[in-house]
Structures are given as C-alpha cells and as structure tokens.
Amino acid sequence: MGALTLKNVTKAFGKTEVIKGVDLDVKDGEFCVFVGPSGCGKSTLLRMIAGLEDVTSGDVEIDGERINDLAPARREIAMVFQSYALYPHLTVRDNMGLALKQLGTPKAQIVEAADKAAAMLDLGPLMERRPSELSGGQRQRVAIGRAIVRTPKLFLFDEPLSNLDAALRVATRIEIARLHRDLGATMIYVTHDQVEAMTLADKIVVLRAGRVEQVGRPMDLYNDPDNTFVAGFIGSPQMNFLKAGLLGLSSDTVGIRPEHLAISATEGPIEGSVSHLEKLGGETLTYVRTPDHGLLTVRQFGEHDHPVDSTVRLTPDQSRAFHFDADGQRLR
Ligand SMILES: Nc1ncnc2c1ncn2[C@@H]1O[C@H](COP(=O)(O)OP(=O)(O)OP(=O)(O)O)[C@@H](O)[C@H]1O
C-alpha cells in the first residue's frame, strides 16, 4: 500500500511562503506527476513528502497515517534524484544493496533483491562496476534500481531525466513507465517537461507559485483546462491565445491549439505574415506574425511550404476553441 494525502500543506522559508496550502490525494499504485514552471515549488513539495524539508503547516499522510514528524529513513519512501547520488567507491551491486545492508537484512536476501532489480533494469553485466565506469543513463538506472531494492511504499523522482541526452531521455522514460506497470507502485514524479508529464502520468498536478492550478488525467487537462495557465502549459507547441473581441466573440480570450488553426494563402479571417517555418518531417510548424493577436503557431501534418515573409490567412476551428474571461478562467 502507498496512498498519499496532503492536507492544506504549506511551506515557508523565513517569511516567504513558497507552498501556499496544497491538498492532494494520490491513490495506491497511481503515477502522479507534479509540473509547473521553474520556482513554482515542485521540488519543495516532493522534499516535504520525503521528509527532507519540514512541513510548516498541514498534514502529510501515507495510508492514512500522519508522517510529518517521522524521520526520512522511517517513511518507507525511496527517492531518485537528477544527480543520481551514487556512492563512487561502491560497486553497482553494493550501491543497490546499501539501504538493505543498513537495515541489517541478511546478505543472501540483499543479493537476491539486487539481482531481481538488476534483471528488471538490464543491469546484470554491470553489477561489479563502479559508477565512474558507467554512462549517465546507466547511472540513472542504478539509482532507480537502488530505489526498487528497498520495496518502498512510495517512489519519488525529482527530474530524473534532466541530465540525459534526448534519445536516452525517451528510452528511460519508457523504462520508468514499464517499471510502474510491473511494480504497481505509487510514484510521484517532478518535471518541468510537459511531454514527460503527459506520457507518464495517471494524474498530473499543475502547480503555479505554490498553489495547485488543476489536477487531472493528462488528456482531461489537455481537452478541458480550467484556465489559460493550464491551457498554455499542457500541450506543445503552446496553445494560441487570441483576442476574442477582434473575432466578434463575447469572451475575453479564445484559446486555439496549433493543430486547430487552418492556414491558407487567400482565405480566413486573420491576416498575418510568415515569420518562421519549422519542418519536423512528420509535421510542419508555421509561426505567423499577426497585427491583432501577436505570434500564432500553426501545426500541419506532413510537409508544407509557406515562404517566410509571405502573407497568409488563418481560420480558427471554432468547434475546438476554448473561451476564457478577463481573469483567464475558462467559460464553459
Ligand atoms: N532552502 C530554501 N530557502 C529559501 N527559499 C527556497 C529554498 N528552497 C527553495 N526556495 C524557494 O522556493 C521556491 C520553490 O522552489 P522549488 O525548488 O521547490 O521550485 P521548483 O518548482 O522545483 O523549481 P525548478 O523547476 O527550477 O527546480 C523558489 O522560489 C525557491 O527560490
């Protein structure tokens, strides 16, 4: 079991409150991702769950038990850091087994647990090496293996893929998703990468300046955002925000995703000029500068040519538009 509940949790550093009352329920076995811009409090919240930061007020509960005052080592939580945090003088095997050794677990049991985790992560051939003899991706797999060996109630990940190159990030992301399926464990994962959030999460928590903006399943946040912040944060490239009044609409702001903006040389209510074109192979992104709505992004499937500086016209798909009031709240 590993259900997590946060009840009106706050955190102040001196007089500065950086977590401003967070309520959250993470079910046993759920993969929950904290996303938000730099400085919104993702890591602080994770560190409070781990016990690495004190909670200023509110309750942190695991399986209904308040753990605010429980030492980190007694929380049955394993954390995987961006920086791996492996012991350089220990072999992979000893790094993975260390926590169990410190608990006085019999040696044969430690070997068995480490071998099992190594098999899950394809680390078998590397068990006798030291961290300096491993690539970054292999080191991160060892750090994940070390977490698995402890069979914790909660796995906490703090931007674990940030130090990896693009291809390895994708491979390790898929690995973590598979591990979650195989282990059925509760995982809390911090990232500022919304693609990681969309692909890994059962539940995404969007944070902004120490508050929760919205909690939901990835596609629910994508299809049904509560406000312009969530609408702009979830989805890449970002949603376009247009001035509703200039389109003859009564809301304040109209949100249109790049794939719901049609582009043509001659037809459409919005005029602009092509400022930049990105051909990504499978899709084309065209950035159009408009006098009324600023820079808008158009996404088209396949390869398209819109010469830079040429005049184009855009048509929003009204059936896919999101409407927001002057405070950025969604009008439904
Ligand atoms: N030890 C500390 N003392 C004072 N302020 C802190 C401390 N740790 C974090 N903060 C502040 O708390 C806020 C939240 O920081 P936190 O590291 O949780 O953000 P984050 O969302 O994880 O950001 P990033 O994505 O950049 O890692 C920031 O404004 C930060 O400056």
Q: pLDDT value at position 82?
A: 83
Query: Domain check: are 47 and 94 in the same one?
Result: yes
The number of the ligand 1 atom at minimal distance from the alpha carbon of 36 is: 21
Distance, in Å, from the CA atom of 76 to the CA atom of 70, rounded to the nearest integer, reads 10
Distance, in Å, from the CA atom of 130 to the CA atom of 91, rounded to the nearest integer, reads 4
Distance, in Å, from the CA atom of 159 to the CA atom of 330, rounded to the nearest integer, reads 30
Q: Binning pLDDT at 50, 70 and 90, where does residue 248 land?
A: confident
Query: Domain check: are 148 and 251 in the same one?
Result: no
In this predicted structure, the answer to whether residue 136 has a pLDDT above a threshold of 90 is: no
- Average pLDDT across the chain, whole number: 94
CATH number at residue 105: 3.40.50.300
Distance (Å) from CA 19 to ligand 1 centroid: 10
Query: Domain check: are 118 and 175 in the same one?
Result: yes
Rounded to two decimals, what is the model's pTM?
0.91
The number of the ligand 1 atom at minimal distance from the alpha carbon of 11 is: 12
Mutate to test the pocket of ligand 1, among 9, 16, 34, 43 (most ligand atoms within 8 A of CB): 43
What are the pocket residues of ligand 1 if the criterion is a CB atom closer than 6 Å to any ligand atom?
A: 13, 18, 36, 38-44, 192
Last residue of a domain, one of 198, 230, 262: 230
Counting the structural domains of the chain, the total is 2
| Boundaries of domain holding 216 | 4-230
Query: Domain check: are 72 and 216 in the same one?
Result: yes
Strand partners, 289: 273, 295
Query: Domain check: are 264 and 221 in the same one?
Result: no
Distance (Å) from CA 53 to ligand 1 centroid: 12
Query: Domain check: are 223 and 250 in the same one?
Result: no
Distance (Å) from CA 41 to ligand 1 centroid: 6
Higher per-residue pLDDT: 164 or 256: 256
CATH number at residue 324: 2.40.50.140
Q: pLDDT value at position 30?
A: 97
Question: Tokens 């282990």 correspond to what residue?
Answer: 183
Q: Are 41 and 192 spatial neighbours (Cβ–Cβ below 8 Å)?
A: no
- What Å distances lie between residue 116 and 122, 150, 218, CA to CA? 10, 12, 32
Query: Domain check: are 203 and 63 in the same one?
Result: yes
